[in-house]
Amino acid sequence: LQDEYLDQWGKALEQSPLANQQTDVASLQASIAYHMNASLFRTQHNLEKVAVYQALAHSMADKLLLDWNRTQQRYRKDNPKRVYYLSMEFLLGRALDNAMLALHMKTAYQEAVQGLGFRLEDLLEQERDPALGNGGLGRLAACYMDAAAALDLPMWGYGLRYQYGLFRQSVQQGFQVEAPDDWLMRHHPWEFPRDIKYDVQFYGYVATKMNDKGESRLFWESDHKIRAVAYDVPVPGKDGFCGNIRLWASQPPHHGGFDLDAFNQGNYDQSIASLKDAFLLTSVLYPNDNHQAGKELRLKQEYFFVSASVQDVVHRFKRYRCPWSEFPNKVAFQLNDTHPTLAIPELQRILVDVEGLAWDDAWDIVTRTFAFTNHTVLPEALEKWPIYVMEKVLPRHMQIIYDLNLFFLQKVEEKFPGDRDLLNRVSIIEEASPQQVRMAFLAVVGSHSVNGVAALHSELVVKELFNDFSLYYGKDKFINITNGISPRRWLYQANPGLRDLITHTLGSEDWVADLPQLQKLAPFADNLEFQQQWMAIKYANKVRLTQWIRDDCGLTVDPRALFDIQVKRMHEYKRQFLNILGVIHRYRVLLQMSPEARRRVPPRVVIFGGKAAPGYAIAKLVIKLINSVADVVNNDPVIDDHLKVVYLPDYNVSLAEKIVPASDISQHISTAGTEASGTSNMKFVINGGLILGTVDGANIEIRDEIGEDNIFLFGTLADQVADIRHAQKYHGVLLDANLQSVLDAIQAGVFGDASIFNPLIDTLTYGGDFYLISEDFDAYIKRQNDVDALFLQKAAWAAKSIRCTAGMGFFSSDRSIGQYASRIWKVDKTALGNGSTSTAD
Ligand code: B1H
């Protein structure tokens, strides 16, 4: 467009309602009423809460859109180095509350909707929680996008727009029942479809062809194409900054997927066959946490996602007509685990086959562009793809991987001559039957930096997963960046009571952007009046949770009891089984006590929540056991209020926002060395909840920050686990005596039909107690008794609670993202506000 017209567009926008949004209550009401009529095509004569929520969301989104456009326009002009966070999962949670708080408009909107006859709290509950992730890995991606937006860092997220998110869970007869999460069935005002499309191909064959320069090149051709279309999701930042997540949806490539010829011949199924293919591709998120299912459709999802994203980034890069050698100075790709690793051979393919670069030049660009975050050392979670599947779905990529591997192994051979065993160990191709591509090795070889997500985990990554690689590349390539959480969502938004007390005490809200300031709360830890205010907020949060428990489970619990919470995906390594076995032990001990003795034990409410992967039978059986125990304990008149067991169905981000601020104790009790980091541990502690945990993942750094006295740690250490397992193999498992009586009770039918629990009990005996439940049982029970004892000392408990929050400054996602920016991406966040970038570390 010529400059004069550009100017005219600018002026027109300035005159538009979008640029002239007022934030007084009457204007906000006007904007809500406008959207009710114009965007939703409804009137006030037929109103449901959900419609008012949608109108309100539109009104709020208008304000974000303006920021979005301004921010992205600035990047386009300044062309800074950009970061692309590639993740198969973004567990964003609800958007409206978050956006209103980020733009400081919640109070005004509250008043506005009140004047229109609604309570803001009720409207916020109308929003469906977009569940485009499984657990910690997906939520981390969301916290990182939030931090980048808050820091004005030019980072985009790329992901998939699954038609169905993580399944919705209900409990029937104590068993988990799954239903599809049809989150898009209702209009969702927080995504913006774009006219941006790329075709992605699968299958086909590789041929030799001449390119424009008369050189012979390999080309990958296929008739099987699916189109990726972009949906943008705004990420509210600070001071008018707004980030972006671009999610790809699959569509048929041409003519909307309709085959008119087939239709005319009466082949109706055939006429819409490609439509079905395209619909299926991004229809559903695979519901596995820390487990690879290895389905061909998943591989196609992964490639679809990275191909569209890489095409989009290459397209953006070419707009500026920079030489290819500049690519790593303008682009950083961060791989959120191995799921997007195909981006590495994909970029190599585009550079060599399509853009005509020499192999080595292309590879140099690729390896300077990619960095890889590993999130797990569990063998069942490490992605491997059979070569016969790869060759069929992605024939050219398979060739490229073979070549990369060959050149890599040649270099290893040069450095360590004659070590065939080593070559076998580091080969990207695993010589098993069938042969497999080790995606984690491909990610290491194609990246300039590899990081783990907590100190212990990063140590295990170097020592165990990638030991040979660290010898070859040197230690510097392998670093640690400890996970962080968004203080905005997990304290500011989720716990308004505590937020206000902190702000009042510290004199301003500056702590949100500078979390180490929380340390200034420490001097108040022993102040009685402050303790009372602090615990009153905790109590109010517990009351709020009891209401949810009543509504969701029909169970009444006493908010004065000790709230003991374990909410996370159901997995054997996370040991919810240990927790419920401990509950049974407590139940039996309470039954044996005199009424006087019982009254000296603080009453407890033990709360569980979390989904099991639909195919994970043992994890589902633990859910059943929890519910069976709850049935018995909650209805035992002798026990009365001394112990209650709650299983909250359909645990998700918005439920977490209600649960986390209400904990006295939360449990993070994975077998040492198995939980890479954990992030809910951080969320609980920052909200003044104490934790009972193992010496694992980020628990260790939390202890280091808040002090040994303010955390209940127990159990086997990571470096002892292998020996214990080894010993079990030879001598079998000698069950702890208390644990044995707990198992006896289950098998005697105290909690209903015992036979269904046999497979669960077998995991402790047959083949060894792999997760060391028996080994850790006694230490666990003793630590629980310490918790009881402390809970009776109100002031001592309150002081520890305050010290917990005070010590959590390190765990802001802003700190994590700052470290990624300086150590890996080489973008300097402080230089970005005025549009420039720096490559200095
Ligand atoms: C984590 C996963 C994961 N690690 C495979 N790995 C998946 C692996 O769909 N899959 O195939 C999905 C998820 N998730 C978690 O990442 C760790 O268990 C946590 O300890 C960690 O806090 C979190 C974020 O780093």
Q: Is 452 close to ligand 1, i.e. is its CB under 6 Å away?
A: no
Q: Whose CA is nearest to atom 24 of ligand 1?
A: 137
Res. 838 pLDDT band, cuts 50 70 90 = very low
Same domain, 576 and 723: yes
User: Which of 434, 467, 483 delimits the end of a domain?
Assistant: 483
> Are 430 and 572 members of one domain?
no
Question: Is 21 part of any domain?
Answer: no
Contact 171, 625 (CB under 8 A): no
Domain assignment present for residue 183? The answer is: no
Are 612 and 760 members of one domain?
yes
User: Which residues does residue 85 pair with via DSSP β-bridges, in sequence order?
Assistant: 157, 334
User: How many angstroms does the Cα of residue 374 sit away from the middle of ligand 1?
Assistant: 9
Of 120, 122, 91, nearest to 107 by C-alpha is 120
Question: Token match 């309150």: residue?
Answer: 798
pLDDT single digits (tens) 129-160:
999 999 999 999 999 999 999 999 999 999 99
Question: Is position 171 within any domain?
Answer: no
Confirm whether 14 is domain-assigned: no
* Secondary element (H or E) of residue 199: strand 192-202
For the CA of 139, the nearest atom of ligand 1: 24
Number of helical (H) and strand (E) elements in the chain, helices listed first: 35, 22
- Do 634 and 777 lie in a common domain? yes
Please give the Cα distance from 297 to 483 (Å, whole number): 30
Q: Which atom of ligand 1 is nearest to the CA of 288?
A: 9
Q: What is the rounded distance in angstroms from the CA atom of residue 179 to the CA atom of residue 171?
A: 11
Domain boundary among 483, 508, 527: 483
813 pocket-lining for ligand 1 (C-beta < 6 Å): no
> What token pair was written down for 216?
């012979």
For residue 829, the model assigns a pLDDT of 60
Q: Is the CB of 290 under 6 A from ligand 1?
A: yes
| % of the chain exceeding 90 in pLDDT | 93
**DSSP letters spanning 321-378:** T--GGGHHHHEEEEEESSTTTTHHHHHHHIIIIIT---HHHHHHHHHHHEEEE-----
Instruction: Look at residue 283 and tell me if it is in a domain.
Output: no
Ligand 1 in contact with 679 (CB < 6 A)?
yes
Percent of the chain with pLDDT over 70: 98
Ligand 1 centre from 372 Cα, in Å?
14
d(CA 651, ligand 1 centre) in Å: 17
What is the set of active-site residues? Answer: 375, 568-569, 574, 679, 683
Ligand 1, from 143, 162, 334, 375: best to mutate by most atoms within 8 Å of Cβ? 375
Give residue-wise pLDDT tens across range 259-308: 999 999 999 999 999 899 999 999 999 999 999 999 999 999 999 999 99
Give the residue, by CA position, lying nearest to ligand 1 atom 11: 292
- Predicted TM-score of the model (pTM): 0.97
Residue 595: inside a domain? yes
Instruction: Verify whether ligand 1 is closer than 6 Å to residue 628 (CB atom).
Output: no
The alpha carbon of 142 and the centre of ligand 1 are apart by a number of angstroms equal to 14
Q: Collapse the DSSP code of 812 into the 3-class scheme (helix H, G, I; strand E, B; otherwise coil) and give the result.
A: strand
| Atom number, ligand 1, closest to the C-alpha of residue 453 | 25
What stretches of 425-561 adopt beta strand conformation (E)? 429-430, 436-438, 449-452, 478-480
Residue 589 counted as domain residue: yes
- Say what the ipTM of the complex is: 0.99
Q: Report whether residue 144 contacts ligand 1, using a CB cutoff of 6 Å.
A: no
**Burial (0-12, 13-18, 19+ Cβ within 10 Å), 233:** buried
Q: How many domains are there within the chain?
A: 2
Please, are residues 738 and 775 in contact by the beta-carbon 8 Å criterion?
no
Task: Provide the residue range defining the domain that includes 797.
Answer: 552-809
Q: Tell me if the bond preceding 434 is cis, omega within 30° of 0.
A: yes
Residues 477 and 604 in one domain: no
CATH classification at residue 567 = 3.40.50.2000
Q: Indicate whether 474 and 556 sit together in one domain.
A: no
Q: What is the pLDDT of residue 766?
A: 85
Question: Do 667 and 585 sit in the same domain of this protein?
Answer: yes
pLDDT in tens, 212-228: 788 888 999 999 999 99
Same domain, yes or no: 574 and 473: no
Residue 135 alpha carbon to ligand 1 centre in Å = 7
User: Which atom of ligand 1 is least distant from the CA of 676?
Assistant: 20
Nearest CA to ligand 1 atom 14: 137
Ligand 1, closest atom to CA 679? 22
Residues 461 and 589 in one domain: no
| Same-domain status, 358 and 442 | yes
Report CA(349)–ligand 1 centroid distance (Å). 29
Q: At residue 588, does pLDDT exceed 80? A: yes
- 73-109 burial by CB neighbour count: b if 16+ within 10 A, else e? ebbeeebbbbbbbbbbbbbbbbbbbbbbbbbebbebb
Say whether both 331 and 445 belong to one domain: yes
Same domain, residue pair 700 and 789: yes
What's the Rg (C-alpha) of the chain?
28
Domain boundary among 483, 500, 528: 483
Work out which ligand 1 atom sits closest to the CA atom of 457: 20
pLDDT tens-digit map of 328-351:
999 999 999 999 999 999 999 999
Residue 194 lies in a domain: no
What DSSP designation does 489 have?
I
Give me ligand 1 centre to Cα 304, in Å. 21
Residue 266 CB neighbour total at 10 angstroms? 8
